[in-house]
Amino acid sequence: MKRLKASGLTPISVKKAQGLFANSGKSDKRNQVTAIAVTKLREKKEREKNKKKGLKKDVEIPFLKNLGLTGTVKTEEVMAFTQNFHLLKRAGFNNVRALTTILENTENPALQDIIADILNGIEAGEYIYTTMEHYPKVFPMLYVSIIKVGEMSDSLAESLSQALSSLEDSKTMKRQVKKAVTQPIIMIGALIIMTIVAIVWGLPVMENLYKELGVEDQIPAATLAVSNFMKMIAKYWYVSVGIIAGIVVGFITWINTPSGRFLMDKFKYTMPIFGQLMIRLDLQKFLRAMQLNLENNAKLDDSMEVSKSVVKNNMFLAMVEAAQSNLAQGLSWVEPFEAYKFMPTMIIEMLKIGMETDIKMMMGKITEYIADDIEITMSKIMAVIPQVSMAIAGVVLVAFMIVVLKPIMEVYMGNFLFDAYGM
């Protein structure tokens, strides 16, 4: 007790080690780690209690988050945790010893809290995945589902390897999407900013030129309309701010309604360019989870119920629920996916064949197929995005030339001709 207090720890209770920690060899270091885990759990519960009472609120600042200065866990850290856990399990470590070892070598306090929580859950007789479910921002639902299958089938080491692969695939996909959209967004954003600056600065200059020449009545209609609009916004800026704020608040309120969420989720699948990618990514998560559960000898309806938790899109959930209803009635559970016309035709046909033969075997082939299909879809998107961005940039440039450059050039060219020919 004195040693713990001297270390700045406040144990909940002190008793002879039993159960999961009984084989610790009464090591001071191991006892200290256990006490830290218990203390961190107590602190976590205190924070949750305070949050419920409104006494404390965590605030994340974006640039601090990127620097790792807030209570966040990066994907790279979760990957390192998973890889280390996998290696220790392959080396014959039990769950407690493996997680304790990882805890000792973890620097991120937020991840330390999570590992300590998992350790205390194990000590209380809980599965690892049940604790991970409490941290959806750290452990994706597919990740948790894979871990669950591993624990249920006593093949956690293999499941950790699969979970690591899922994280790596997700990270690669995010990196590819980011790479594809970053440059076009920067280019279009720069053009828009340049156009706005040119309009704000160029229109007054152009109007003064027309006034000096005494031909202000000859200002092009489009240019005059834009100029008057900008003047109105500048004069009644508070009205503009109020309108924009009202639109934003109204939109946020709408998307938080059931119908709003459903329509927004439907739009994600139907929007140009990225819609096909998003439906394939959700399909991959869902079918991968189904495959894992079926390989664990779960029933089809149970597998579908568990697997739908990995997808958050309400449109997709509607399809799954319709499939579940058909399955309960003895009808084809593939028909709802076919009726919504979102799922690729090849996957529909493969599912139909699987229903007639071996759905477990076919589900493995489908997940392989959809992984390749996602890569093809990504290649198409990366080829189309530059073309679309150039088209948008062209429209912005033409608008800029019509509104600003054309009138200015007309004034300067008119003066040039007037001086040259003595007119």
3-state secondary structure of 371: helix
Q: How far apart are alpha carbons 118 and 208 in whole angstroms?
A: 71
pLDDT tens profile 88-100: 999 999 999 999 9
pLDDT at 34 exceeding the cut of 80: no
Q: What local confidence, expressed as pLDDT, does residue 149 receive?
A: 82
388/66: higher pLDDT:
388
Question: Both tokens of residue 108?
Answer: 């991120």
Question: Both tokens of residue 294?
Answer: 């079926």
- Segment among 163-167, 365-369, 419-423 with least mean pLDDT: 419-423
Looking at the chain, the whole-number percentage of residues with pLDDT higher than 70 is: 74
Question: Both tokens of residue 280?
Answer: 């394939």
Q: What local confidence, expressed as pLDDT, does residue 334 receive?
A: 87
pLDDT tens profile 341-372: 777 888 888 888 888 888 888 888 888 888 88
Contacts of 219 (CB under 8 A, 6+ apart): 206, 207, 210, 227, 407
Question: Both tokens of residue 53?
Answer: 């009472």
56/175: higher pLDDT:
175
pLDDT at 384 exceeding the cut of 70: yes
pLDDT band at 102 (very low <50, low <70, confident <90, very high): very high
**What amino acid is encoded at 43 in this protein?**
E
Question: Both tokens of residue 104?
Answer: 């000792």
Q: What local confidence, expressed as pLDDT, does residue 117 receive?
A: 92
Tracing tokens 């997680």 back to the chain, one arrives at 99
Most confident of the following: 11-20, 364-373, 407-416: 364-373
pLDDT at 104 exceeding the cut of 80: yes
pLDDT tens profile 217-276: 666 777 777 777 777 877 777 887 888 899 999 999 998 898 888 899 888 888 887 888
Q: How far apart are alpha carbons 303 and 308 in whole angstroms?
A: 9
Residues 60-69 have a mean pLDDT of 39
When the pLDDT of each residue in the chain is averaged and rounded to a whole number, the result is: 76
